[in-house]
Amino acid sequence: TFWGHFIATAGFAMLSAGEQPSLKYWVSSMIGSCAVIVYALILGFGQLQFADLALLAAVVLLGFSYAEGGRLAKELGSWQVIAWAILIAAPFFIIPVGLNFTQDMIHAPMQAWLSILYLGVVSQFLAYVAWYSGMSLGGIARVSQIQYLQPFLMILFATIFLNEAINFMTIGIAIIVLLSVIVGKNTKVTRSDSYKT
């Protein structure tokens, strides 16, 4: 899904923000995408199921959200964008949590409460402040390429903190993806005149 997020984000960057990446950008992006797809297939991609349609819809919605967030960050500021997003989405999260609330949740260990606090403040807010700020400064399409590195960064952190094994194939694919991101990040991305302010 990571490569799908990137392709969707770059596509919506063209539609909503008027960004026009160069051919070199798309070639490097396809190389990165193919590398991630091959990696997933080798590890065991599994059979496509009906539930995968929901995953595909989520990828498209995330791509649209990232592109719109990056565009709005230029006008409102990065922290304002994610703050409004959280505020608007809050009822959709509070209602199901409230319906499933039990007394046992109150007696959860301190580690669980600290984890929730970290997820809310760092992962859900501060990380998106940095993300939207980066897209507003560097361009939505160009900065969105960093998403290619997410699965490999997770593998790296799992190796460091959870003592999981990492093999040479993973390292090789990660290097290919890293090079494609570097090339794509340094390519020319223009904007349509109608979108310039």
CA dihedral 62, 68, 74, 80 (to 10 degrees): -70
Domain ranges in the chain?
2-195
Cβ-contact 129, 83 below 8 angstroms: no
Average pLDDT over residues 190-194: 57
Higher pLDDT, 184 or 4: 184
Least confident of 11-25, 57-71, 120-134, 147-161: 11-25
Task: Write down the mean pLDDT value for the chain.
Answer: 75
What is the tens place of the pLDDT at every residue in 30-60? Answer: 787 777 777 777 765 555 566 667 766 776 7
Average pLDDT over residues 102-111: 83
Cβ-contact 36, 177 below 8 angstroms: yes
Q: Is 52 helix (H, G, I), strand (E, B) or coil?
A: helix
Over 80: is that where the pLDDT of 140 sits?
no
Q: What is the pLDDT of residue 76?
A: 82
Cβ-contact 59, 8 below 8 angstroms: yes
b/e sequence 11-50, b meaning 16+ C-beta within 10 Å: bbbbebbebebeeebbebbebbbebbeebbeeeeeeeeee
**List of long-range contacts for 70-75, beta carbons under 8 Å, 24+ apart:** 70/13, 70/17, 70/132, 70/135, 70/136, 70/140, 70/143, 70/144, 71/13, 71/16, 71/17, 71/140, 72/132, 73/132, 73/133, 73/135, 73/136, 74/136
Report CA torsion sign: 152, 15, 84, 89.
Answer: negative
Average pLDDT over residues 135-153: 73
Q: Which two tokens stand for residue 105?
A: 């949740």
pTM for this one?
0.63
- When pLDDT is cut at 50, 70 and 90, the band that residue 114 belongs to is very high
Average pLDDT over residues 160-179: 82
- In the chain, the amino acid numbered 56 is L
Give the rounded distance of the alpha carbon of 179 from its chain centre.
19
Over 50: is that where the pLDDT of 196 sits?
no
What is the tens place of the pLDDT at every residue in 56-98? Answer: 677 677 777 777 777 788 788 888 888 888 888 888 888 888 8
